[in-house]
Structure 1
Amino acid sequence: MVTWNTNKRIVRILLVGDPGVGKTSLILSLVSEDFLEDVPPKAEEITIPADVTPEQVPTNIVDYNASEQNDDSLHEEINKAHVVCIVYSVEDESSMDRISEYWLPLIRDSVNESEQRKPVVLVGNKIDLIDYSTIDNVLGIMEDFPEVESCVECSAKTLHNISEMFYYAQKAVLHPAAPLYSMEDQDLTEKCKKALVRIFKICDIDGDGLLNDFELNHFQRRCFNAPLQPQVLEEVKAVLSKNVPDGVVNDAVTLKGFLFLHCLFIQRGRNETTWAVLRRFGYNETLEMSKEYLQPAIKIPPGSSTELSHRGQQFLTMLFERNDRDLDGALSPDELKSLFSACPALPWPSLSDLRRIVPTNEKGWLTLHGWICRWTLQTLVDLPRTLEYLAYLGFNVHENESQLTAIQVTRERRLDLAKKQSNRTVYMCHVIGPKSAGKTALCRALIAEDMKRLLERDFRSGSHYCINSVQIYGQEKHLVMRDIEVRQVLDPLQPQDVHCDVACLVYDTNNPKSFEYIARIYIKYFAESKIPVLITGTKGDLAEVRQEYLLQPAEFCQKYKILPPQIFSLKHNKKDLYVKLATMAAFPRFQAAWILFYRHRLEHLWDSTNLRHFGLMSSDPQLWWKAGIGLAAATCFGYFIVKLFQRSTPS
């Protein structure tokens, strides 16, 4: 079914022409289904209900009379109309000459410069009075004036082609030929070709540059809600084989053949077929992808975030696997460009920066894991762009639904805090600290497997974001590290720099003046907030020096009842810091503190009883007895910590 542009809820048809050509008679014959001998000078405006029109769109028909209306009134009516029918008398050559000499230039001059050309239909009336056709005479006019969509001959007296005339007028508005086809070049317009090439690439599911029978059927179902009958399919291939060299290869339709078919549809007056395809893939009447299609409305409550749904991840995984031509488990730059060839541009302009944002292979190419990470990050921080590119890549067509089904809106953060647990799968950590404290290195270490390679990288360029997955009690979550840029120590933080799921305040353990900055940041921005905070000392492989502040880091943390400082070193990065940050985000407020403490105690006891070495293979009852005592002690201690924090937490 053709999608009608919701910006035009009614088609307005204006009839103009020289006196005596039969404009009013045409309108009255359509309405009364009979020819009236006594015709008024001008017909009143008529509204035809949607259910009696071929396109199921309500239609207004407006008459013009030179003796009753002045030039200003005519200009106004032309601007209000969606299509203008220029009526001429087939027996009067002067009325035909006036089409190009007067009426078409007048219509052009009346249309505002900011608007497109007004579609025009040429109507030859009184065909009952002659025994020849004038269509050949007006074809030259159509070539000179691209806004002329079609021409039709009819008779108000015999009712010949009356309904067809108004159908063509409707069609000129709903399915205009001018944006699709150039009469001068006898070919598709460049805009139309570009749109159809994108559609071809999206429908080429296996990416071999051909549309096989399965892909053609998939295309037919998505556009017209019906399968392509085998006999029709064979007839289409026969037409292509006869008219287009290389239109069919290996019993499949090529891009060249696909474009020819649409050119043939338009030449045969079946513009609606091509428009049905274009609109199904999101194009509007100017052959631009509509804003509503690219970015459908979505409501995101304050404090909620956006993540990829399971459906969204499935679609992106399918795209990755389809475009990994060499099956090496990564997308090379050429494979990435091929994947996004149906889009106006790459979503990430600097491909070289990808290795500074997500995990990649040794060549800096996106693995499937890194690919999903990159989309997860974009969905979190730039949802409109994700929605836009999902539309470009054909999610709406392959899934037959809006791309909103690829998105999941999370629960509001205030509800997470009330329940002291988050059901999110993506957490934002803001990394804040003074210059040269090692913030960027700490962020990049999240995605580095080879620390030696990380140490050799240039940290002065690239994105402020890094993302990777972490395991929290057996569940995979995504942690985003955002490096908050600080130019001057006294610069205030903006609200968008503070609001996050967890904050990592970073100081340099080897710099005595480093801790004071984050201590002041904590007191000013986080002490009264409910955002979990972890203080981290970097460059842990160097000698730790005393900080020139009222309290040392450990004393500061104890005073404000936050976790003790975590010491981090690039040379000994075990990734446990990121698990702690993600755990604090998953279990907000003080619950995170006792969970981490409880986990630490369990791990300590686990090591002390050597269970990691013996595992379930050990049958020593004394060993299991020790483990049981240890677990019970840890449980009791964890319960004590919970009560302690509950009593010390201000209401």
Structure 2
Amino acid sequence: MVIKSSMRRSVRILLVGDRGVGKTSLILSLVSEEFPEDVPSKAEEITIPADVTPEQVPTHIVDYSAAEQSEESLCEEMQRAHVICVVYSVDDEDTLDRVTTRWLPLVRDCCSDCRVPVILVGNKVDLVDYSTIDAVYAIMEDFPEVESCIECSAKTLKNISEMFYYAQKAVLHPTLPLYVIDQQDLTEGCKKALKRIFKICDVDNDGILNDAELNAFQRLCFNAPLQPQVLEDVKAVVQRNCPDGIAADGITLTGFLFLHCLFIQRGRNETTWTVLRKFGYNDSLQMSRDYLHPSIRIPAGCTTELSHKGHQFVSSLFERYDKDKDGALSPKEIDNLFSSCPAPLWGPDFHRTVTTNAHGWITLNGFICQWVLVTLLDLSRALEYFAYLGYNTSEKDNQLSAIQVTREKRLDLAKKQSSRNVYQCHVIGPQNSGKSMFCRSFIGHTLEKTFAPELAGNPQCTVNVVQVYGQEKYLVLRDIDVRNVSDPLLPAEVQCDVACLVYDVSNPKSFEYSARIYLKYFVESKIPVLIVANKNDQEEVSQEYLLQPSDFCSRHKLPPPHPFSASNKIKRDVFVKLATMAAFPRFHAAWILFYKTRHMKQLGFLRGDSVVWWKAGLGLAAATAIGLFVVKVLKTDKS
């Protein structure tokens, strides 16, 4: 059943009941602060301004008259109402009986699609010397939609203001989602939400909220710390009523749940709701869409990355849940970390995407890389999980401060260098060229220790850290699965920061595929391309193509084919080269000058005496140094 959201700008109260119970008199007494001598059959709709209501919300009060309204119009009014006050006369037992035989069933019928809270109002207490509250309690057990009950008098003004306050409170701070009256306990949904909140606030992850954590929680939810004596009084109440609620002079989860149960039993629903809403929950105890998915626009040509704050939060999560401090998260630690989320952020095959330790447990580097990957490829999911894990409570802003939007790619090209920290490399090659193993070698896997079946199917990405001129960058290798050259590549499979075309040096038909892919998709693009001569540990054969790989690269002004083998010890220079080409997209032509000369053993180290190559190298190095200087200056300015 849907519950009307309390995150509203106004409250609409409808009064219903039998003729003569005093509905209209109650409204007029509230407004005029005196009992009306002449009472019309129906009061006009009245709006009470926000500044004179306890909850600072505009309130509309609507009357019902059987003489002027049909059953159909009454049902429409019930559907429009946020709360319904069912009024009976305490001196007329028949009107109380009709609360259960007529009015409450009618509310259920008219509001079957959306639960509307009900307040039972016993009017005319000035005429009797007894109370009907005990009888009303029995009604409340049979009809959970009844939030509260009150007896009042329109004539003496007794409890008139309180009645409308309870009505307003029933909308803004409903009891039903929080508390099961007959069990005198919190609902399962409320317990689940409060357990997540406790877990987030338990910063040292020891299962206890110490004084510092309690004060941080109090400041976050109520903008003020607990006074030392108040804090001790709270713990004393818990200790007296719930011995398991206190441990090591702090409050346990059991004690935390007890406190909120106590708040509700004492009519202080607003305390619990303030906490729940601070942590993103709506009236249905679901995390609100706005809380999970704050609005953000990503311009074309831009990508999303973790910001400095995002990196800090992710790193702190890892350290918090790495209980044994072994530098990796065990399956149990992973389950503990994501226990407040619908599911873990990644599946069990993460070892195929990021670095792990010898046990196959995710390392700190792998953990950060997973977040980097999700932030890049599925921003909505990343923002959602930042919210689940409590990022919003660690920052004054929402989780958008955990990410940054990069500048447009065209600006990177114009400035001849990229400002990004995460680069996408699409790895394309024919079947059996070893491109999947090439991707896996990026996270330290070798051919000898990788089972062939693991190379098939998802995931299609690996991500790791590389050093580009002393700066840490993240490179995402995406294995593009194309079976035939005739199979068209989708735009999303072509657009990347750098393309890596892989062929098998031992297969004479392998290079033709890579060559045709280049000519079809990349020859006219501004995307840097590196051709990788894979399986270099095997005997190289002549390729059955118009041009041999080195001649093809020379003709199209590409760097010479880079030799690579995933066997035994992996050489990471190819990944550094790919990341550097992505970081300096307009300089990849200059890189060609480096690699064309036989006198260069590796990038940036000149051993020959060719003046031409030496000048080209100096030009690239100078441009790079200027770029790095600009970056450092900008960072200095920001700090």
Post-superposition offset of 1:216? 0.7
8 A Cα contact 1:356 1:463, kept in partner: yes
Once residues 602 and 315 of structure 2 are traced to their aligned partners in structure 1, the CA distance between those partners, rounded to angstroms, is: 39
Post-superposition offset of 1:592? 2.3
TM-score with structure 1 setting the length: 0.91
- Number of positions where the alignment pairs a residue of Structure 1 with one of Structure 2: 615
Letter matched to residue 520 of structure 1: R
**Gapped runs of 5+ residues in structure 1?**
610-628, 643-651
**Residues 1:503 and 2:482 aligned together:** no
Higher deviation after alignment, 316-325 or 515-524: 515-524
Once residues 127 and 109 of structure 1 are traced to their aligned partners in structure 2, the CA distance between those partners, rounded to angstroms, is: 30
Letter matched to residue 570 of structure 2: N
8 A Cα contact 2:437 2:447, kept in partner: no
- From 585, 591, 595, the equivalent of 1:588 is 585
Matched with 2:138 is 140
Per the alignment, in what secondary structure is the counterpart of residue 570 of structure 1? Answer: coil
Matched with 1:338 is 336
**Residues 1:308 and 2:287 aligned together:** no
Once residues 377 and 605 of structure 2 are traced to their aligned partners in structure 1, the CA distance between those partners, rounded to angstroms, is: 40
Once residues 132 and 532 of structure 2 are traced to their aligned partners in structure 1, the CA distance between those partners, rounded to angstroms, is: 86
Once residues 602 and 581 of structure 2 are traced to their aligned partners in structure 1, the CA distance between those partners, rounded to angstroms, is: 20
Per the alignment, in what secondary structure is the counterpart of residue 185 of structure 1? Answer: coil
**Residues 1:574 and 2:553 aligned together:** no
Letter matched to residue 96 of structure 2: M
Give 1:79-228 correspondences, 5 Å limit. Answer: 79-113=79-113, 115=114, 117-228=115-226
**Residues 1:526 and 2:522 aligned together:** yes
Once residues 502 and 376 of structure 1 are traced to their aligned partners in structure 2, the CA distance between those partners, rounded to angstroms, is: 18
Once residues 78 and 6 of structure 1 are traced to their aligned partners in structure 2, the CA distance between those partners, rounded to angstroms, is: 17
**Residues 1:547 and 2:537 aligned together:** no
Matched with 1:381 is 377
Evaluate the alpha carbon distance shift between residue 640 and residue 258 of structure 1 in structure 2; reply closer, same or farther with a 3 A threshold.
closer
TM-score with structure 2 setting the length: 0.92
Evaluate the alpha carbon distance shift between residue 385 and residue 641 of structure 1 in structure 2; reply closer, same or farther with a 3 A threshold.
closer
Post-superposition offset of 1:6? 7.6
Once residues 89 and 609 of structure 2 are traced to their aligned partners in structure 1, the CA distance between those partners, rounded to angstroms, is: 103
Once residues 246 and 59 of structure 2 are traced to their aligned partners in structure 1, the CA distance between those partners, rounded to angstroms, is: 42
8 A Cα contact 1:87 1:122, kept in partner: yes
Matched with 1:74 is 74
Post-superposition offset of 1:593? 3.0
Per the alignment, in what secondary structure is the counterpart of residue 458 of structure 1? Answer: helix
8 A Cα contact 2:202 2:213, kept in partner: yes
8 A Cα contact 2:606 2:614, kept in partner: no
Higher deviation after alignment, 527-536 or 95-104: 527-536
Matched with 2:397 is 401
Post-superposition offset of 1:526? 1.2
- From 416, 437, 449, the equivalent of 1:441 is 437
Per the alignment, in what secondary structure is the counterpart of residue 428 of structure 1? Answer: strand
Root-mean-square deviation over aligned CA pairs: 2.2
Post-superposition offset of 1:632? 8.0
Higher deviation after alignment, 135-144 or 457-466: 457-466
Once residues 270 and 199 of structure 1 are traced to their aligned partners in structure 2, the CA distance between those partners, rounded to angstroms, is: 19
Post-superposition offset of 1:639? 6.6
Give 1:316-327 correspondences, 5 Å limit. Answer: 316-327=314-325
**Alignment deviations for residues 622-641 of structure 1 (CA, whole Å, 9 cap, x no partner):** xxxxxxx9798755234789
- From 332, 345, 348, the equivalent of 1:347 is 345
Letter matched to residue 535 of structure 1: I
Once residues 594 and 50 of structure 2 are traced to their aligned partners in structure 1, the CA distance between those partners, rounded to angstroms, is: 69
Higher deviation after alignment, 169-178 or 159-168: 159-168
Matched with 1:623 is none
8 A Cα contact 2:280 2:288, kept in partner: yes
Once residues 382 and 174 of structure 1 are traced to their aligned partners in structure 2, the CA distance between those partners, rounded to angstroms, is: 35
- From 605, 615, 621, the equivalent of 1:636 is 615
**Residues 1:290 and 2:288 aligned together:** yes
Matched with 2:15 is 15
Post-superposition offset of 1:555? 2.0
**Alignment deviations for residues 353-383 of structure 1 (CA, whole Å, 9 cap, x no partner):** 2221111111111111111111111111111
8 A Cα contact 1:222 1:400, kept in partner: no
8 A Cα contact 2:6 2:283, kept in partner: no
Give 1:229-240 correspondences, 5 Å limit. Answer: 229-240=227-238
Matched with 1:471 is 467
Letter matched to residue 207 of structure 1: N
Matched with 1:621 is none
Per the alignment, in what secondary structure is the counterpart of residue 297 of structure 1? Answer: coil
Per the alignment, in what secondary structure is the counterpart of residue 327 of structure 1? Answer: coil
Evaluate the alpha carbon distance shift between residue 179 and residue 161 of structure 1 in structure 2; reply closer, same or farther with a 3 A threshold.
same
**Residues 1:537 and 2:516 aligned together:** no
**Gapped runs of 5+ residues in structure 2?**
622-639
Identity fraction in percent: 64
Matched with 1:34 is 34
Letter matched to residue 65 of structure 1: S
Letter matched to residue 583 of structure 2: A
Once residues 549 and 635 of structure 1 are traced to their aligned partners in structure 2, the CA distance between those partners, rounded to angstroms, is: 33
Once residues 251 and 606 of structure 1 are traced to their aligned partners in structure 2, the CA distance between those partners, rounded to angstroms, is: 61
Per the alignment, in what secondary structure is the counterpart of residue 214 of structure 2? Answer: helix
Post-superposition offset of 1:63? 0.4
Matched with 1:258 is 256
Give 1:54-69 correspondences, 5 Å limit. Answer: 54-69=54-69
Once residues 560 and 608 of structure 1 are traced to their aligned partners in structure 2, the CA distance between those partners, rounded to angstroms, is: 24
**Residues 1:365 and 2:361 aligned together:** yes
Letter matched to residue 483 of structure 2: R
Per the alignment, in what secondary structure is the counterpart of residue 493 of structure 2? Answer: helix
Letter matched to residue 155 of structure 2: K
**Residues 1:299 and 2:297 aligned together:** yes
8 A Cα contact 1:448 1:454, kept in partner: no
Evaluate the alpha carbon distance shift between residue 603 and residue 519 of structure 1 in structure 2; reply closer, same or farther with a 3 A threshold.
closer
8 A Cα contact 1:445 1:454, kept in partner: no
Once residues 481 and 193 of structure 2 are traced to their aligned partners in structure 1, the CA distance between those partners, rounded to angstroms, is: 41
Post-superposition offset of 1:30? 1.1
Post-superposition offset of 1:460? 2.3
Higher deviation after alignment, 176-185 or 131-140: 131-140
Evaluate the alpha carbon distance shift between residue 605 and residue 174 of structure 1 in structure 2; reply closer, same or farther with a 3 A threshold.
closer
Per the alignment, in what secondary structure is the counterpart of residue 47 of structure 1? Answer: strand
Letter matched to residue 525 of structure 2: S
Evaluate the alpha carbon distance shift between residue 633 and residue 494 of structure 1 in structure 2; reply closer, same or farther with a 3 A threshold.
closer
Evaluate the alpha carbon distance shift between residue 354 and residue 325 of structure 1 in structure 2; reply closer, same or farther with a 3 A threshold.
same
Matched with 2:626 is none
Post-superposition offset of 1:8? 2.4
**Alignment deviations for residues 299-340 of structure 1 (CA, whole Å, 9 cap, x no partner):** 111111111011111111111111111111111111111111
Once residues 603 and 284 of structure 2 are traced to their aligned partners in structure 1, the CA distance between those partners, rounded to angstroms, is: 69
Post-superposition offset of 1:417? 1.1
Per the alignment, in what secondary structure is the counterpart of residue 123 of structure 1? Answer: strand
